[in-house]
Structure 1
Amino acid sequence: MAIPLRQLVEQVGGQLQGDPDTLVSGIAPLDAAGASHVSFLSNPKLRTQAAASAAAALILTEADSERIGSQYAGARILTERPYAYFARAAQLFAALAAPPVQPGIHPSAAIDPSAKVAASACIGPHVTVEAGAVIGEGCTIDSGCVIGRDTVVGADTHFHPRVCFLAGCIIGERGIVHAGAVIGADGFGFANEGGAWIKIPQTGRVVIGNDVEIGANTTVDRGALADTVIEDGVKLDNQIQIGHNCHIGAHTAMAGCVGVAGSATIGKYCTFGGAAMILGHLTIADNVHISSGSLVSRSIAEAGQYTGFYPLATNAEWERSAAIVRNLSGMRSRMRELEKTVAMLTSQNKNEQ
């Protein structure tokens, strides 16, 4: 569905330079955009490509627009943050293109009589909604999902196929949970007695705020006694593990395959690169950024970028480095002895002079 640029700017913002009646139907990369597309420039290194783009309109900063000058003949939408503008514009076009959601309950769904499902919600095939569950206005629950007993799903939240949202868990409004995610499985809690493991019942919940997105096959464990908490605006990629009793601060984002062990507390506005690992019972301050593949083995009290992995090397080089690391303790002891000897000899030399 094509819309005039005027409508795009009215809904998303920005300053339009060019014909407001130009029709556009979507977003495309600079080098692939055509006469019905909007494109964006967020990387100054691509100015030459932007100048040559066939897009109907460009989203860019005022400074980049001035540098491109008359080389680009299309319309321009000026904004301080082109990449964020692109994201909002893409949401608009995606909403226009999406098939309308039809409220109602599929005949194959199993809804407990005590559950409360809003009339505007859409419940897909083979969904199970257990006793006491509450599903809010405008929710979409896709095929094969399990909504456990006494759960609460906030308004306009979308569960993709085969999500398991287990007993007592809560998610706020406008959430997105992708296929195969499991929210509220038991945390990994066991007591050891004589070499045998005794299960500790996991009786807490998972409590999730508004505007949270959880990726495919990601798992968030319920608390052992208290709750696992994920605050507003958190974004979790695919195949992430959040252990029991963790607390993830608002607007923190984690890339794929991150693992957070139980009872870790993570601040607001943090980012974690793919495959980062966070040990249990640690506290991480707000605005901490962890590089991909890093192991966080201690609490972090100050904001900043942290990296904790050894640079990649050939196997032979790695083995040599590992051998050195294993011997560092002995080398340190010998170094201290050498320092004492040098200090003693230096003192004797001064006395002799």
Structure 2
Amino acid sequence: MGFRLGELVERLGGQLEGDPNIEVIGIAPLSDAGASHISFLSNSKFRAQAGQSLAAALIVSANDDATVAESYKGARIVVKNPYVYFARAAQLFEAQTAVIKPAGVHPTAFVDPSAQIDASAHIGPKVTVDAGAVIGAGVIIDAGCYIGLEAQIGEGTHFFANVTFQAKCVIGKRGIIHSGAVIGTDGFGFANEGGVYVRIPQTGRVVIGDDVDIGANTTVDRGALADTIIEDGVKLDNQIQIGHNCVIGAHTAMAGCVGVAGSAKIGKYCTFGGAAMVLGHLTIADNVHISSGSLVSRSIHEPGQYTGFYPLAKNSDWEKSAVIVRNLETMRDKIRSLEKTIKTITKHEES
């Protein structure tokens, strides 16, 4: 199974340079592609490799096309953003081989009689659907998932095996939640009385928009009173923690092991590198990009790239730097004293 290049262009757009009847059966990296594959060039530093590729066709940008065409003799699809075009083409190829889950409820699943499940939804083995839950058209709930009391799952959303979706949580259309994710667990809310912690009931929800992807073993806490909100198009990688009452703005993306403490408000179109940390009750503007491993300890009100980690060094060099940092206050006092002395000498000479 495959696609003619002409068919790909008809579906996805782009300018085809070459034979539209060439058929490709899949996408492969530049180094591995053969005569039945299509590949893509998304980074100009690999132009030379693209020129020597054995792929039947390449997806390239207009900026790279002329250079690549000097040595590459296959067909080319010229587009604005080759990486995005590759992603959309990959979806087409995936759809050709996707296993279609049958509609209906597996005999081993438990569905409360008051739950509403669209006839086109798939409810897999050992799934539990609690009272009052609403599951929309084309939803896929794989084996072992738990859908809580009055939870709502929008059209075309897919829960992979062993997702926990707690009471009254909501997710919109076309969402994807991967195995082991827990949505709607209690937030970390306690009041301290003389060193003893008193639990604060977490009565809010998690409300998730459309087209949201949530990775394996990621946890999103329910709100204490108001809701935790994940807006449309957000992409969360594996093993991320989102604290209670956070707001994650539309189309923001977070890489693995990011942690966001409670009540943080993050804007739209932000990115967070792996293991970045955000302290609670902070506000981050739209279009902010946080480097991997950074600690965000204050609110950010202007878009841009922010980095907050100390560069890796040999341990001996790091220890020397640490000594310097510890002595900065003393060094500052000495410098100020020297500045005063120099100022006094200069004034005396001038007089």
Report the TM range for the smaller structure's normalisation: over 0.9
Q: Counterparts of 1:282-293 in structure 2 under 5 Å?
A: 282-293=282-293
Q: Counterparts of 1:83-232 in structure 2 under 5 Å?
A: 83-232=83-232
Alignment partner, residue 316 of structure 1: 316
Q: Which amino acid aligns with 2:241?
A: Q
Q: Which amino acid aligns with 2:28?
A: A
Alignment partner, residue 331 of structure 1: 331
Q: 3-state DSSP class of the match of 2:329?
A: helix
Q: Which amino acid aligns with 1:325?
A: V
Alignment partner, residue 38 of structure 2: 38
Q: Which amino acid aligns with 2:109?
A: A
Give the deviation of 1:71 after TM superposition.
2.3
CA distance in 2, matches of 1:149, 1:45: 53
How many correspondences in the alignment? 351
CA distance in 2, matches of 1:11, 1:148: 39
Give the deviation of 1:70 after TM superposition.
4.6
Q: 3-state DSSP class of the match of 1:93?
A: helix
Q: 3-state DSSP class of the match of 2:192?
A: strand
Moved more, 196-205 or 52-61: 52-61
Unpaired stretches in structure 1, ≥5 consecutive residues = none
Q: Which amino acid aligns with 2:24?
A: V
Give the deviation of 1:24 after TM superposition.
1.3
Q: Which amino acid aligns with 1:322?
A: A
Alignment partner, residue 278 of structure 2: 278
- 1:104-146 C-alpha deviation (Å, 9 max, x unpaired): 1110000010111111111110000001111110111010000
CA distance in 1, matches of 2:183, 2:44: 41
- 1:40-90 C-alpha deviation (Å, 9 max, x unpaired): 011112122212212111100233221122522221111010011001100
Give the deviation of 1:7 after TM superposition.
1.8
Alignment partner, residue 263 of structure 1: 263
State the TM-score, normalizing by the size of structure 1: 0.97
State the TM-score, normalizing by the size of structure 2: 0.98
1:80 maps to 2:65: no
Unpaired stretches in structure 2, ≥5 consecutive residues = none
CA distance in 2, matches of 1:254, 1:46: 27
Alignment partner, residue 306 of structure 1: 306
- 1:270-328 C-alpha deviation (Å, 9 max, x unpaired): 00000001101100111110000001100011111110111111112212211221222
Q: Which amino acid aligns with 2:261?
A: A
Q: Which amino acid aligns with 2:122?
A: C
- Seq. identity, %: 68
Q: Which amino acid aligns with 2:36?
A: S
Q: 3-state DSSP class of the match of 1:71?
A: coil
Alignment partner, residue 22 of structure 1: 22
Q: 3-state DSSP class of the match of 2:207?
A: strand
CA distance in 2, matches of 1:278, 1:132: 35
CA distance in 1, matches of 2:302, 2:62: 35
Alignment partner, residue 295 of structure 1: 295
Q: Which amino acid aligns with 2:293?
A: G
Give the deviation of 1:331 after TM superposition.
2.2
Q: Which amino acid aligns with 1:53?
A: S
**Alignment root-mean-square deviation, CA:** 1.1
Moved more, 187-196 or 71-80: 71-80
